Amino acid sequence: KQEVTQIPAALSVPEGENLVLNCSFTDSAIYNLQWFRQDPGKGLTSLLLIQSSQREQTSGRLNASLDKSSGRSTLYIAASQPGDSATYLCAADSGSARQLTFGSGTQLTVLP
């Protein structure tokens, strides 16, 4: 059974810092790995998708990497802004049911 872990559970940084969010998964037989953002009381917004054959994806100030052999993905946020404050979730797409297995998230607070 796939298990996904995110570290840290919460992170508070001053505006302008570069930061790294970590995601690890136990079963490397994934189709892809997706990073989402969730604002309080809101739905999930897809940030980046990394296919199993890719090593990284970039969108603006966000960069996500994938190392299947070690079961790890990282989300790098450059020059953080208060508007980046949210919970960040990673999810591994795997299994015959193509079940998305989610981590418990990292709650990010960027202080002005």
DSSP per-residue codes, 35-86: EEEE-TT--EEEEEEEETT-SEEEETTEEEEEETTTTEEEEEE-S--GGG-E
Region near another protein per CB under 8 A, out of 18-26, 45-53, 59-67, 74-82? 45-53
Of 76 and 102, CB closest to another protein: 102
Q: Which of residues 72-101 bind another protein (CB under 8 A)?
A: 89, 91, 93, 97-100
Which residue from 103, 106, 108, 110 is in contact with another protein, where contact means CB under 8 A?
A: 103
